[in-house]
Structure 1
Amino acid sequence: MKIKFIIVLFLFTTIQALPQEETFEPSGKPFVTIYANFHRGITGSATDEAAFELVRGYLGYEYFFSPEWYAKINVDVGSPDDLSPVSKIRRYAYFKNAYLRYTQQKLEIEFGLIGLKQFKLQESVWERRYLMKTLADEYRLGSSADLGVNFHYAFSEKIDADFTIMNGEGYSSLQMDDVFKYSLGSTFRFPRNFTSRIVYDIMHSEISETTLLLFSSYDFRSKWNIAGEFVIRQNEGWMANHDIYAFSVFGKYNLNERYQLFARFDKIKSNILEGETLPWHLANDGTALVAGIQFRPIKKITMALNYHDWYPWAANMEGGGFIFFDLEVKI
């Protein structure tokens, strides 16, 4: 009898000592992000412009149903880019994100109004979405979010791939036709301290509009970083031989935990059509320069004093330089 009691006690003790599976508690949280600035024109056509501006606000909620299932909704409150300056006081709300994500080991699937992978990577390296978008988004060579489905697979910690089917017109446009954009991309995290990505998009309607995006970033001991991005858009707007080329180079240097220096240079140009003497996209071709210092007094509050300049390629257009004080607040 004693032997049986000892065996039962041993088994009970052993079972209690085994690792117990943690019970998952579904949970969610709201989030708010605000972008604001004060800017003053100091050169060229910008000398008469100065204003305080509430650029954008994001209001959202994210929820974890289980370790595999996650949902997010994010409302973008701002002024559409096509409004006149007089109408900028108006505010319009768009769904920036509204999607469901399923994760299983190395596979991740997102469905709905999703954020696109290439913009997430570039924005995480650039770190200053609150003062300027990344290259393709800034010059309308792509949208940071779209309606569709994305399949993402991580082969290892150093390489992954993703395939996206989407409307192709961004999160602020509603497409009712049967023309979709297909995107194939891959991210590489080697050699050491390098992160690179390649993406190819195609959207066909009589002819194909295609976009090739190349990106690479080098990080040195978390002290400084330099990155470059190159975009080729062919047959813009399904117009044959109407091509756009753009590249961006940017970098940062951490002075300490709170202060950071940064600079960025963009260039966008278009080709000259047969029989013409000037680029077809000349009114929007040019170069941009941004440089400044960023300060983070506490976590979730970031501000930057910086200089913006735009140099148009068209001889009959005058550029303008601005001093900006930008602010990002996350709640």
Structure 2
Amino acid sequence: MTPTHRFVDTNGIRLHIAEWGSGYPVIFCHGFPHGWFIWHRQLATIGAAGYHAIAPDLRGYGRTEAPDGVDAHTNVAVIGDLLGLLDALGADRAVFVGLDFGAQLVWELALRAPDRVAGVIVANNPYSPRAPKPPSSYWTKAAERHFLHLSYFQEPGVADAELAARPREFLANVYYALSADYHYLDTWQNPPGLGYLDVLPKAPALPWNWLTVSEFDYLATEFERTGFTGGLAWYRALDRNWELSADLPATVTVPVHFLYGENDPDMAGFSGRDPLAVMRAHLADLRAVEKVTGAGHLVQLERTGAVNDFLLAAVADLVGPPVAAPSA
């Protein structure tokens, strides 16, 4: 069995979604460089359990439209897409699952529209309140000392051209570098002024023990078709996101389940000295925290069984068991 696909008109764009099952909606939000397919193993599990599992290609990715400009790729814009998706589904609320940029997105969604969020399940990217200065003020200083992708991605056209010229090599190398099989922060040993492909490790040949050739081919084919500009626009909107979040509350009030890979580089290098303590201090209803051993950033692929078990328990906690048992 495979998910079904359709398009939803929302917030001025045409949004592609993959979905599986029926029942209470559970919406999966991906990061960079991903797409809906990064969640396909979870769609199968959640859909088969009796829920309505939905994974959009977020704006700028895959078969969803990619408007021009920084303001078109802010969290505010994408939250508008998700709220329109809820309306199209005829749903008052949903459980939202996020990883990477998708995690940042659902954290902000929970602050902006808590009445539409039954709960959030986040992988690897812990919540922290708004920083006192825009993000670029932090990464610009770091990028003076060593290569840092956050800075490298800011100049329009530069990373776009590099990555689009060698999409399969980039994707294989970055997925490998972010996994538990490599220490991603070793890329910081390279000086500034290099390209991303200059600093990433050479990935071993596929298949890997957590990613098949056919899965990689699906992801790579999508980016061969679209390029990476839509995804890179999310990086270029980071300072704008900071500007637009000035009036948001500091505390997330919706129920939260959080899991993270034991070797996730975001937890180790991009989330402060004690990210779990900061997160706990700003969540009103944190119900679970779980460390997944032997996993890095793409935890849902590297340790699919553990993540799926966590998701099933979390969704049941947030909205109860499915109304009806799935058909055989």
TM over 0.5: no
| Structure ID, larger Rg | 1
TM-score (norm 2): 0.28
TM-score (norm 1): 0.27
* Higher RCO by CA contacts (8 Å cutoff, separation 6 or greater): 2
Determine which structure has the larger helix proportion and give its number: 2
Determine which structure has the larger strand proportion and give its number: 1
